[in-house]
Amino acid sequence: MEPWAPKKHYDDAYSYVMKNGVSKINDFFEEKLKNSAGEVKVKTAIVGTTGSGKSTFINTLLRLEDSAKGAAKVGVTESTQDCQRYEDPDNANIEYWDLPGMGTDNFPAETYFQDVKLNEYDTFVIFIDTRFRKDDLELAREITSHRKKYFFVRAKIDQDVRSAKRSCGESFNEADVLAKIRSECSEKLGDLLSNEEKIFLISCHGFEKCREKCEERGEKCGEKCGEKYQLEPLIKANRDVLYQNQQDAMIRLLEKASMAALEEKVKVLGGDIWKTSAWSGVAAVVPVVSIGVDVLLIKKEFKRYKTELGIPEEKSDEFENLDPTSKAKVSLTLKLLTEFTAKGIGALAAAYAVETQIEKVFSFLPAGLIIACPLSGITTYKVLDYILKAMADTAFAILVGVIKSKKK
């Protein structure tokens, strides 16, 4: 499902193209991506086995005690019964969803993905505690198959460290214990893990104790504690992916709006042609005048299409920043104007037959002029139609090139 973005940005892009064509469209997109992509709503699902510490993590994120008002419900027995939404305290457009644990009677592992609508989320944090279960791996596989990003959290590390202390006695070494857990996680995840940095060994309880101790000493070292218990790196890694999702969603929205507007604009310009051509036909009553009028008219329309569609001048800064395909198209299209001598127009028109349009030109003309008009009117129609098609093709190439560069 597409992340939600305010419709205002679609409308802005549509209006921009209707007004300016593709002129400086790169700058317009850049500005939107830089200043407005953060308004796209993105969602992270906190998923995994029941009792693994998902709700506790949410409370740590919200900087709330488990018992505080508005905190996620935490408990030694199955606690979260439906999907609960929480806002990131630093960015209201990032939502964390506390999901019910997987593998209970209410949420069996087999149907978990459908039951909690996992497809609606942008990223996933998969929680496990103590042991890896088959279900955890299945869940990761399912998420990967939907091309979504996930992070693995091995929670309650404080418990592991305490247990190791008991069992190892003198030989206890915390760093060794953590390294062993990390390597066990990598081994179990195998090909599901592109990179070991996606595993976070966290402890919300450890973090909270660390922070309390700091405060007792009168120090503010929340970030340092967050680093130690891996909450900070997890939040940052997840935010980086979400930021990219926001950028991607914004560019898709801008693409949709600008393409639709450009199509509309070309349609409107195309609709004008028969009227313009018919007037050129009227001038053909005095045949000597007709050729001169055609050339002027065509040159005038050429310039109008160029402005309306926002085709840049050759050698301008905007032109220099275009991709090679667009540059070549702009050069070719602009060359058409210089080639427009009366003879050139005739040759062009002859090469470009649009017989189906003849009736349109005829239908507009007053009955008495029909005999005198066809040659000039239809020729003008064909030429303008040809020019507009070339110009529109160039404008679309510019737009596609800019969008492509933003999708990288």
Ligand X SMILES: Nc1nc2c(ncn2[C@@H]2O[C@H](COP(=O)(O)OP(=O)(O)OP(=O)(O)O)[C@@H](O)[C@H]2O)c(=O)[nH]1
Q: 40 or 99, CB closer to ligand X?
A: 99
Q: Are 384 and 266 in contact (CB under 8 A)?
A: no
Q: Are 403 and 250 in contact (CB under 8 A)?
A: no
Order across the sheet with 123-128: list the strands. Answer: 84-88, 91-98, 42-48, 123-128, 149-154, 199-201
- Rounded CA-CA distance 318/213 in Å is 58
Report, in Å, the least distance between residue 240 CB and ligand X.
Answer: 24
* Pair type for strands 84-88 and 91-98: antiparallel
Report, in Å, the least distance between residue 173 CB and ligand X.
Answer: 20
Residues 159, 244, 247, 325: which binds ligand X (CB under 6 A)? 159
Q: 166 or 315, CB closer to ligand X?
A: 166
Report, in Å, the least distance between residue 98 CB and Mg ion.
Answer: 6
Q: 116 or 297, CB closer to ligand X?
A: 116
Binding site for Mg ion (CB under 5 A): 54-55, 79-80
- Rounded CA-CA distance 391/187 in Å is 57
- Rounded CA-CA distance 128/54 in Å is 9
101 lies in the site for ligand X, by CB under 6 A:
yes
Q: 75 or 287, CB closer to Mg ion?
A: 75
From the list 77-85, 143-151, 182-190, 349-357, the region that binds ligand X by CB under 6 A is 77-85
Which one of Mg ion, ligand X, none interacts with residue 182, CB within 5 to 8 A by kind?
Answer: none
394 lies in the site for ligand X, by CB under 6 A:
no
230 lies in the site for ligand X, by CB under 6 A:
no
Q: 54 or 154, CB closer to Mg ion?
A: 54
Which one of ligand X, Mg ion, none interacts with residue 164, CB within 5 to 8 A by kind?
Answer: none
Report, in Å, the least distance between residue 218 CB and ligand X.
Answer: 25
Adjacent-strand bridge partners of 48: 127
The CB-nearest residue to ligand X is 101
108 lies in the site for ligand X, by CB under 6 A:
no
52 lies in the site for ligand X, by CB under 6 A:
yes
Which one of Mg ion, ligand X, none interacts with residue 52, CB within 5 to 8 A by kind?
Answer: ligand X
Which one of Mg ion, ligand X, none interacts with residue 204, CB within 5 to 8 A by kind?
Answer: ligand X
382 lies in the site for ligand X, by CB under 6 A:
no
**Interface with ligand X in residues 124-143 (CB under 6 A):** none
204 lies in the site for ligand X, by CB under 6 A:
yes
Q: 156 or 198, CB closer to ligand X?
A: 156
Residues 51, 226, 310, 312: which binds ligand X (CB under 6 A)? 51
158 lies in the site for ligand X, by CB under 6 A:
yes
- Within 8 A by CB and 6+ apart from 378, the residues are 277, 281, 349, 357, 358, 361
Q: 54 or 198, CB closer to Mg ion?
A: 54
How buried is residue 94: exposed, middle or buried, by Cβ count under 10 Å (0-12/13-18/19+)?
Answer: buried
Continuous H helices in 36-173:
54-62, 112-115, 134-145, 157-168
- Within 8 A by CB and 6+ apart from 59, the residues are 65, 66, 68, 71, 72, 74, 204
- Rounded CA-CA distance 407/94 in Å is 22
What is the DSSP-derived secondary structure letter of residue 300?
Answer: H
DSSP per-residue codes, 174-211 = HHHHHHHHHHHHHHHHGGG-S-GGGEEE--HHHHHHHH
76 lies in the site for ligand X, by CB under 6 A:
yes
Task: Report how far apart, in Å, the C-alpha atoms of 287 and of each of 166, 281, 370 are.
Answer: 106, 10, 14
From the list 153-161, 187-195, 232-240, 318-326, the region that binds ligand X by CB under 6 A is 153-161
Count the residues of the shown chain that bind ligand X, applying the rule CB under 6 A: 22
Q: Is 113 left (phi over 0), alpha (psi -120 to 50) or beta?
A: alpha
Say how many residues make up the chain.
408
Binding site for ligand X (CB under 6 A): 50-56, 74-76, 78-80, 100-101, 155-156, 158-159, 203-205
